[in-house]
Each structure stands twice: as structure tokens, then as C-alpha cells.
Structure 1
Amino acid sequence: MPLVDKLLILAIGAQVFLAIAILVLMGRERVPRVMSGEIPVADIAVERSGYPLKARLLSNSFDNQFQLPVLFFVGALLLLQLGFVSWVDVLLAWLFVALRIAHAAIHVTSNDVPRRFAAYSAGLAVLTLFWLWLLIRILLVPSA
């Protein structure tokens, strides 16, 4: 397997482990409070407002890992399937993942909305470039 493929797979793995890390942190915030009775199950059965702020921030950040990253996963898997992975793809993939980590870090700490929006927008821009680069190459490859 070429090095660029391995590096792209590592970027995919890093994004997956970001989601898992947020999920674990969210569980550490939620489960003990529910188990101790501090938060009645009825208060959180339908919505999250019964949880403290930190748990809600983690929950929102976790939900966000199933928005833009899904488009990243589809593109990355398509690249691997087609055998089109290049160093540009790897660079854009890792930049996207780094921006997702920054976005999540802001989301679950200060939750500074302008900074969080900047990280999100930068990630969206990188993801857009990732897809444009992929589509250009697919459309320019002569068909057999």
C-alpha cells in the first residue's frame, strides 16, 4: 500500500478517534450524574437541557462530528477506492482534521462562537478544496 494511502487512512482514523474522545468525555460528564440521581432520567429523556453546560457542549460537539466529517469520509474513501490519493489529498485531509480538532477544542472549552465559527469555516473551505481537487481529477481521467 502506498504511503499516501496510509497517511490518508491515518487522517480518517484521527477524525474517528476525535469523535470517540468527545463521546468518552461526554459520557464522563453525563453518566455519573444520571446514575447518582442528580439528573432525573425524565429530564433528559427527550432533550439535553437537563444536563449541565459542559455536558451540553460536549454533546453538541459530538453531534457536529457527523456533519462535515461525513463528507470528508466519503471523499477519502472514494479516493482510496479509485486509487487517486495524492500528496495534495493527504495535506488537505490532515489540515481538515486539524481544523476539526481546533473546532472541537474551542467548542468544549471557551465556546467562543466567533473563534469556533472561524475554525468551522476554515474546515469547510479545506473540505471544499479537497472535493474540488478530487472531482477535477475524476473528470479529467480518460475513461476506458
Structure 2
Amino acid sequence: MPHSLILPMAAHVAIAAFLYALLTAARAPSVWGFGRSADGSNPWADLEPRISANLSNQFEWPLFFHVACLLLLQSQPGYVASVLAWIFVAGRILHSAVQILTRNVRLRGMVFTVNFLAVLGLWILVVLAHAA
């Protein structure tokens, strides 16, 4: 049975959906008035721009992840492709947590490097699969 790339792709879609829900919740006090602080302010105002930026990040480098997975699905993706795809997903979760919960740009860059290398690995597999 070939190692499927559909589940890691779906997991990344779930991450993006979660971020949309989180952003909606963070904006609710300002937009709808739900959850305002006693002084009328938004208690999530500090996190909202970071959640928004992270959500935007889900449509940048991850595009190359999804394209590589789709191309690999045309062949028989193996164990290495599956491992790289799951490393990417785990890295995206970590990247989101670091970007939203901290201001540690160095750590965020290190986590992004894991994502970056996983996708480059997938693209090497794409080239090898389609060069034969």
C-alpha cells in the first residue's frame, strides 16, 4: 500500500481552518463586541495581528508543499515522501505556535527552516519521479 500524502495535505488544511476560527475569535471583541474587557478593549488585540500574519503565511511556502504532493500522487509516493510531508505539517504547527505565542524571530526562523527543507526534499522526489 503506498504511503498517502492526502492525510498530511488535509492536516495542513485543518491547520488553516483552525487559524481562521482563531482569528475570528480574536477579532470578535472588536467586531461584534463579544468578549470585551471591562474597559471595552479587546483582550486579544496583541495576538490578532500575529494570528493574521500566520494565517497569511499558510498561503506562501505551503503552496509548494501542496503542489509537490499533488505531483507525487501521480506516481507512487513512498515512505520518504510521507515522512517529509508529516515533518512539514509538524513544522507548520510549531511555526504557528511560535509566531502567535512568542516574539522569538530566531526560533521562528529555525522552525521555518525545517518546513523549508521538508518541502525541498519533496521537490527532489518530484524531480526524481518525473525525470525517469
Q: TM-score range by the shorter chain?
A: 0.7 to 0.9
State the identity %: 28
Describe the shift of the 1:72–1:106 C-alpha distance in structure 2 as closer, same or farther (beyond 3 A): same
CA distance in 1, matches of 2:116, 2:125: 14
2:99 alignment partner in structure 1: 107
SS of the residue aligned with 1:72? helix
Amino acid at match of 2:69: A
Following TM superposition, by how much is the alpha carbon of 1:36 offset from its aligned partner in structure 2, in angstroms? 2.3
Q: Which runs of 4+ in 1 moved over 4 A?
A: none
1:26 alignment partner in structure 2: 23
What is the total number of aligned residue pairs between the two structures?
124
Following TM superposition, by how much is the alpha carbon of 1:31 offset from its aligned partner in structure 2, in angstroms? 2.5
Segments of structure 1 that go 5 or more residues without pairing to the other structure are: 39-50
Query: TM-score scaled by structure 2?
Result: 0.87
CA distance in 2, matches of 1:31, 1:73: 31
1:135 alignment partner in structure 2: 127
Query: TM-score scaled by structure 1?
Result: 0.80
SS of the residue aligned with 1:4? coil
CA contact (8 A) 2:2 2:76 kept: no
Following TM superposition, by how much is the alpha carbon of 1:3 offset from its aligned partner in structure 2, in angstroms? 4.6
Segments of structure 2 that go 5 or more residues without pairing to the other structure are: 37-43
Q: Given the alignment of the two structures, is residue 4 of structure 1 paired with residue 3 of structure 2, yes or no?
A: yes
CA distance in 2, matches of 1:122, 1:95: 8
Q: Given the alignment of the two structures, is residue 123 of structure 1 paired with residue 105 of structure 2, yes or no?
A: no
